């Protein structure tokens, strides 16, 4: 089971200078409505054939996210099954991020 991180925990880590690699696994239309700044879009259904597109920096934690947190758990599990280390799923997804951390991120 992939590990999760709450929006508050992630925000606290970022305030201490951590720069996560945000992997958005939603569909392109969802990303157009709302996104976390600097994230990379690879929809979950395309992730198995685009694993090489996930290129975090050395030591950078990958944070997968979706709308509410279900697809991001699947994405984190897929990455781990393929040998990717240091992966977390954003609990509650971008919706929780918007309500708990950054209200400028539109909800849908």
Under a CB-based contact definition with an 8 Å cutoff, are residues 25 and 64 in contact?
yes
Beta bridge partners of 87: 62
Q: What is the pLDDT of residues 43-99, one digit of tens each?
A: 999 999 999 999 999 999 999 999 999 999 999 999 999 999 999 999 999 999 999
Predicted pLDDT at 1: 82
pTM above 0.95, yes or no: yes
Domains of the chain: 3-100 (3.40.250.10)
34 Cβ neighbours under 8 A, 6+ residues apart: 94, 98, 105, 106, 107, 108
- Helices 7-15 and 93-100: crossing angle in degrees, nearest 10, is 60
Rounded to whole angstroms, the Cα distance separating 106 from 52 reads: 29
């Amino acid at each position: 089971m992939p590990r999760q991180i709450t929006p508050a925990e992630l925000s606290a880590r970022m305030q201490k200078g951590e720069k996560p690699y945000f992997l958005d696994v939603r569909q392109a239309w969802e990303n157009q409505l709302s996104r976390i700044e600097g994230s990379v879009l690879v929809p979950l259904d395309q992730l198995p054939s685009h694993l090489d597109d996930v290129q975090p920096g050395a030591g950078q934690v990958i944070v997968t996210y979706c709308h509410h947190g279900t697809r991001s758990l699947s994405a984190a599990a897929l990455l781990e099954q393929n040998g990717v280390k240091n992966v977390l799923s954003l609990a509650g997804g971008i919706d929780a991020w918007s309500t708990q951390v950054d209200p400028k991120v539109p909800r849908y």
